[in-house]
Structure 1
Amino acid sequence: MSDRRGSRAWRVQGAAGSVALKANRPGDETAGRDKAAEVAQEDVHLVRLAEAGALDPAYRVGAGAWDGGRWLAVRWVDGTPVWHAFAPARARRSDGEGDGEGASEGERRRLLGIARTWAGGLARLHAAGWAHADVQPTNTLVTPDGHAVLIDYALACGPGDGPRLPYRGALTHTTAPEVADALLATPADAHVPVGPAADVWGLGASLFWCWTGHRPVAYEDGAGRGEKLGAIAAGGTVRLPDVRPWPFPEFEDVVTACLAPVPGDRPTAAALADRLAR
């Protein structure tokens, strides 16, 4: 399915169904990251999350070593990355100002349902004392019935973390301001723990990006990572009414609440899921 950033992934079909299989790609580590160690770390996280009741134990199928490093197999999720799931909504932009009628009531409910189930998945992690720490459009799949399913727990941060790879951020565009600030203020080998509030910011950033087609913080494509993190740490975001494809007050209010610059001002994932359910 993919071959990038030092790892490969396949869909493997067998008599008992399908699994997603990932393994490190030897000799191709990215930005100094040990992908074999990340695969092993994700396996540990899946076991611990299942024990904490935050993840279905059946999700993890198996793991082990191979000649070039580590492999991990998880249950196949029949779904589409959120970016692609939001494509019809982005395509309904009626003009450059985003002031058209936009989508149908059914499409609006679909987007709210994706946001609700995404927040619900994060709420289960947070209730167990964990943060996903890599909330982004490619790490969540939308099933045919419109439910969001979290995947890729390699970078997750949990209670009582023992020896682990230092967390040094994930996708820059969905990094919360407080995490961006900590990354800039600490050495490259320091572990920066991530909490639930950062996941909520990542959720809002992902929804903003997938719906509008614009990243929530403005910076040049060619800017270095440090410059991008600095812009995020400053706490400002692009005004949603300036880039939205069409007006959607209920959705916009949720996204804006998630992107509050101060962690304590953001709603919890559980509160978001409840709000969206109503």
Structure 2
Amino acid sequence: MEPTASSTALVSSALARLGIDTPPKHLSGRKGANTWRAGNWTVKTAVPGARGHLAHETDAYTLLHHQGIHPGVQHHHGEAGRWLAVPWIDGQSLWDLFAPAREGHATGEQRTLMREAARHVLVALEEFHDAGWVHGDMQTENVIHTRDGRIEFIDFDNARHLDLPLSHPYRGGLIHVIAPETAQQLLATADTRDVALTPHAELFALGASLFWSWTGTRITHYRGAPDGPHPDILTDIAAGRRRNLAADRPWADPVLERLITAATRPEPHTRSYRG
């Protein structure tokens, strides 16, 4: 969706503050919230009433910076809305990194890279949880594998910490990767009620995301269409209707399979970050 004049004015204000005189590249936008690439920054803008939770995300980045986990951001808000500028991360999403597997032409080197990236992202999530955080939307589009081999998480508008409770009710992340126990809570509560997200449930979400990225198939064996009504999808997830990784995998990889299987075990307390 093309940005409105008010959104364009917001990003222009951000560029002036950042000292950037080249036009930004519009990356995405929906309901008053937009994301741009500007120089070495990712800039997010939100007009009043926009979807999302940019104020909370700004607070999350600020706390991450104070903890030494993130290099820091720039931001501003006023009557016209708010903007947040985050240093651009040079790399590719985990979804894009696994694309050769889904497309059927992964080389031996790429297969090794996928296996090692899966190992590293699970360790990175463990460290993130140990620091007292849960991300809230753990999916492969929100995981960046940098060109120098590091793992970076992005999009913290649903993140929470003991020192930063959510500013809004949490209703799960990407539906196709949520844990069965999260699906059960969503089915049992109204849309205005907050549901708990534990590190174990978020670990499942990452494991399910790796399953999907590698195989091209969602982890749940749906009785209907994957784009069907949410209650039907949640019911199948809550029931633990799992697909068979050994049948869906593009090739045998005992290490990668062990990592995915351990992260997505049915019993939350038995899940493991390390296979």
Structure 1 unmatched runs, 5+: 94-101
**Structure 1 residue 2 corresponds to structure 2 residue 28:** yes
Contact 2:160/2:166, CA 8 A, preserved across alignment: no
Give the TM-score normalised by the residue count of structure 1: 0.82
Residue matched to 1:73:
85
Q: 1:228 to 1:68 in 2, by over 3 A?
A: farther
- For 1:1-278, what aligned pairs fall within 5 Å after superposition? 1-4=27-30, 6-13=32-39, 18-24=40-46, 34-35=51-52, 38-53=53-68, 55-56=69-70, 58=71, 60-92=72-104, 103-104=107-108, 106-162=109-165, 164-219=167-222, 220-267=225-272, 269=273, 272=274
**Separation in 2 of the partners of 1:216 and 1:157?**
26
Q: Encode CA deviations 1:77-125: one digit per residue, 9 max, x unaligned.
A: 01112211111122336xxxxxxxx752x33321122112212321222
Deviations 1:4-27 (A, max 9, x none): 3652111111xxxx1100122556
Q: How many pairs were matched up?
A: 247
Contiguous gaps of at least 5 residues in structure 2: 1-26
* C-alpha deviation, 1:203, in angstroms: 1.1
- Tell me if the contact between 1:157 and 1:195 (Cα under 8 Å) persists in the aligned partners: no
Query: What is the deviation of 1:51?
Result: 2.9
What is the DSSP-based 3-state SS (H/G/I as helix, E as strand, rest coil) of the residue aligned with 1:109? helix
- The change in CA–CA distance for 1:243 and 1:81 in structure 2 (over 3 A counts) is same
- Specify the SS of the correspondent of 1:142: strand
Measured at CA, do residues 228 and 5 of structure 1 come closer, stay the same or move farther in structure 2, by a change above 3 Å?
farther
CA distance in 2, matches of 1:4, 1:246: 38
Could you give the per-residue CA deviations for residues 122-177 of structure 1, whole angstroms, max 9, x where no partner exists?
12221122111211121111222443321111101221544611111111011111
Give % identity.
37
Q: Partner amino acid for 2:264? A: L
Note closer, same or farther for the CA distance 1:124–1:88 as it changes in structure 2 (3 Å cut): same
Asked if the contact 1:115/1:148 (under 8 Å) is kept, the reply is no
Letter in 1 for 2:239: A
TM-score, scaled relative to structure 2: 0.83
- The structure, 1 or 2, with the larger RCO (C-alpha pairs under 8 Å, 6+ apart) is 1
